[in-house]
Amino acid sequence: MPIAYCVLEIYLPYSQSLKDKRMVLRKAQDRLRARSNFSIAEVDYQDLWQRAKLAAVTVSSDNATLERVTQQFVREAENILEDSLVDCQVSYIDP
């Protein structure tokens, strides 16, 4: 059962508080969850106003499906986050 792990580095230049940051992240996470079958969580930079790191994970029965779904997720993240997305790293694990 292969697993895809995706890390999204985000820069929010217009965020003036943690409340602003959380609002933007919550909206992005909700939109990504609605369009994909990924579990998403903020994993780093929780105390910084203008930086965020999100991790997204999904599981599939075969590698081909997993790669297709992951590519769709990355495209959707790029569309939703636009210029805020600084880096996206995808890893595959096959236990």
Domain-wise residue ranges, the chain: 3-93
Domain 3-93 carries which CATH code? 3.30.70.1120
Nearest to 57, CA basis, from 36, 78, 35? 36
Question: How confident is the model over 13-36, as pLDDT tens digits?
Answer: 888 899 989 999 999 999 999 988
Report the first-to-last Cα separation within the chain, whole angstroms.
7
Residue 87's pLDDT is what?
93
Question: How confident is the model over 41-72, as pLDDT tens digits?
Answer: 999 888 888 999 999 999 988 888 889 999 99
Dist CA 38 CA 43 (whole Å): 15
Nearest to 90, CA basis, from 78, 74, 75, 76? 74
- pLDDT confidence tier of residue 77, bands split at 50, 70 and 90: very high
